[in-house]
C-alpha cells in the first residue's frame, strides 16, 4: 500500500460495515472456490475483498465493462463527470479502478475482467466460493447477472447482493427482487445482512 492511500479517496457506494462484511465472507468462501465481483466501478469493494483474499494467498476476480450502469449515465441520478472520457464519449472507470488497486498495493491480488457479465458467465468454468452481485440495477441487468453467474457458486459458497432495499422508498427494487428470486429458488438461504448488503449461502 502506498503511504498516501486512503479509502475515503476511492469513489464508491459502499459503507465501511458492508466492506468489512464482504471481506469476512470472501475468506470463508475461498474455502470452497474462487471469489468474483460483478460491478467494480472504481474499486472500493474490490479493495476490501482483495485485501481479504491476499491474506489467504488468493486473488479476487473483478468483472466490469467499466462503462457505468444505467443510473451512472449523463443526466441520470448517479452521473459523475470525473469518470467521463471525452474521447470515447463514454464513461470509463477502468483508469480509476487501476489507480486505486495500485495505490492500495493490490495489483498482484486482483484480476480485472473487462466485458459483459452475461457473455463471460456463459464461458466461465470455475467453481465460485463467493460471488458479489453489484452490477447494473435495472431489472434486466440484475436478472442477467444472476442468471449467468449464480449457477457457478459451489455448495456452501456465498452470494452477496448489494443495494437490497425491501422498502421502495429507500432505493430501486431489482436487487431486492433478485434476492427474493434466489431465496424462492430453494437453492440459497439468507445468513447475514448489514445496511443494504445481504449474504446468502448456497445450500
Ligand atoms: Mg452497489
CATH T-level topology, domain 21-202 = Rossmann fold (3.40.50)
Q: What is the rounded distance in angstroms from the CA atom of residue 103 to the CA atom of residue 119?
A: 30
What is the set of active-site residues?
137
How far apart are the CA of 129 and the centre of ligand 1, in A? 20
How far apart are the CA of 185 and the centre of ligand 1, in A? 23
> Is residue 173 predicted with pLDDT exceeding 70?
yes
* Confidence at 3, pLDDT banded by 50, 70, 90: low
How far apart are the CA of 14 and the centre of ligand 1, in A? 7
Q: Which residues contact 78 (CB under 8 A, 6 or more apart)?
A: 13, 71, 72
Contact criterion met (CB below 8 Å) for 138 and 70: yes
Q: Any idea where the domains of the chain sit in the sequence?
A: 21-202
Q: What is the rounded distance in angstroms from the CA atom of residue 42 to the CA atom of residue 32?
A: 27
pTM of the predicted structure, to 2 decimals: 0.94
pLDDT digit string, tens, across residues 12-65: 889 999 999 999 999 999 999 999 999 999 999 999 999 999 999 999 999 999
How far apart are the CA of 188 and the centre of ligand 1, in A? 21
- How many other C-beta atoms can be found within 10 angstroms of the C-beta atom of residue 110? 24
How far apart are the CA of 128 and the centre of ligand 1, in A? 20
Neighbouring residues of the ion ligand 1, judged by CB less than 5 Å = 13, 134, 162-163
Nearest by Cα to 203 from 179, 178, 185:
185
28: β partners? none
Query: Vertex 65, ends 147 and 110: CA angle to 5°?
Result: 90
> Is residue 191 predicted with pLDDT exceeding 90?
yes
Least confident range from 65-69, 100-104, 158-162, 177-181: namely 65-69
Q: Compute the residue count for the chain.
A: 203
Residues 163-169: what's their mean pLDDT?
Answer: 91
Amino acid at each position: 500500500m502506498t503511504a498516501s492511500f486512503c479509502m475515503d479517496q476511492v469513489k464508491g457506494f459502499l459503507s465501511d460495515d458492508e466492506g468489512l462484511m464482504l471481506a469476512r465472507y470472501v475468506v470463508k468462501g475461498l474455502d470452497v472456490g474462487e471469489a468474483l465481483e460483478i460491478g467494480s466501478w472504481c474499486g472500493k469493494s474490490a479493495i476490501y475483498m482483495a485485501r481479504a483474499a491476499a491474506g489467504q494467498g488468493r486473488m479476487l476476480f473483478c468483472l466490469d465493462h467499466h462503462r457505468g450502469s444505467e443510473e451512472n449515465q449523463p443526466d441520470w441520478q448517479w452521473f459523475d463527470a470525473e469518470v467521463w472520457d471525452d474521447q470515447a464519449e463514454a464513461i470509463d472507470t477502468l483508469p480509476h479502478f487501476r489507480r486505486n488497486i495500485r495505490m492500495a498495493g493490490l495489483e498482484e491480488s486482483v484480476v480485472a475482467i473487462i466485458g459483459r457479465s452475461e457473455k463471460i458467465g456463459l464461458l466461465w468454468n470455475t467453481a465460485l466460493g463467493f460471488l458479489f452481485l453489484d452490477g447494473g440495477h435495472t431489472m434486466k441487468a440484475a436478472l442477467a447477472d444472476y442468471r449467468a453467474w449464480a449457477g457457478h457458486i459451489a455448495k456452501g459458497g456465498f452470494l452477496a447482493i448489494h443495494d437490497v432495499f425491501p422498502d421502495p422508498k429507500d432505493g430501486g427494487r431489482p436487487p431486492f427482487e433478485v434476492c427474493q428470486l434466489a431465496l424462492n429458488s430453494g437453492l440459497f438461504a439468507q445468513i447475514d445482512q448489514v445496511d443494504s448488503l445481504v449474504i446468502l449461502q448456497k445450500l
